[in-house]
Amino acid sequence: MADRLKGKCAIVFGAGSSGPGWGNGKAAAVAFAREGARVACVDVAEAAAAETAAIIREEGNEAIALAADVMNLASVEAAAAAAMEAFGAIDILHNNVGVTHMGGPVELDEERFQAALDLNIGSVYRTAKAVLPHMLKGGGGAIVNISSLAAIRYVGYPYFAYYATKAAVNQATVALAMQYARQGIRANCIMPGLIDTPMIYRQISGQYGSVEEMVAARNALVPLGKMGSAWDVAAAAVFLASDEARFITGVCLPVDGGQSCAIGPMS
């Protein structure tokens, strides 16, 4: 299937990758472009945004690279304005920014707890605040937020702030969906389960004795037998952003290989 997003303009926050390989935001940006969208690739690291935009252009599609800090409203608004100047519209807002800080409320210091709030849920607020006025003027749009299976399940890691903030992303998505439904704006979120992306090697691997142990343990938890990839998340994002999902809003979609249905490791 191709051209499902033809004629649409997307802005992807977190479009770079946190290391070599394919992160969820990077894959989503490229997948949107492959389906015909013009894409504004936004990342706090300008080089990471530029890398994603270059991949899109090398494939013959249209993209721009923008640097923005989602913890700063003025920075986010400037990115939205640049996307509007380049494309004349924003039809799709994709939020793919998040951080995991390990620890329960006893171990986690207040500074890192506040940082998790500011980034994981604050980014949804700021990007929506910056982009919604453009969508409203344009007559509608689609918002896709990246949440986590951790929003609805304890997944084995002691990251209190991550559970709390990703649950907030779910309900914030529902709130957006209901408030703006009559204005032609849909909002949905994706709850990735155990996905093999560069982030896990940077933020999760320290919970294990080795990288190999981490990969084996995470694979064992997935009913389908192995972790998903960023492309699994990207495929769901394309669907939710497309007109194929025109009657779907307020949904929190697990992309987890069945893990949300299981009660423990698979044999």
205: confidence class by pLDDT, cuts 50, 70, 90 = low
Q: What mean pLDDT is predicted for residues 121-125? A: 98
Domain borders along the chain are 9-195+229-257
Q: Is 162 a catalytic residue?
A: yes
Of 19 and 51, the structure prediction assigns the larger pLDDT to 51
Q: Which of 159, 162, 163, 180 is catalytic?
A: 162
Q: What mean pLDDT is predicted for residues 107-115? A: 95
d(CA 117, CA 111): 10
pLDDT digits (tens, 9 = 90+) for 229-240: 999 999 999 999
Domain 9-195+229-257 has CATH 3.40.50.2300: no
Mean pLDDT, the chain, whole residue set? 94
60: confidence class by pLDDT, cuts 50, 70, 90 = very high
Tell me if the pTM is above 0.85. yes
pLDDT digits (tens, 9 = 90+) for 125-176: 999 999 999 999 999 999 999 999 999 999 888 999 999 999 999 999 999 9
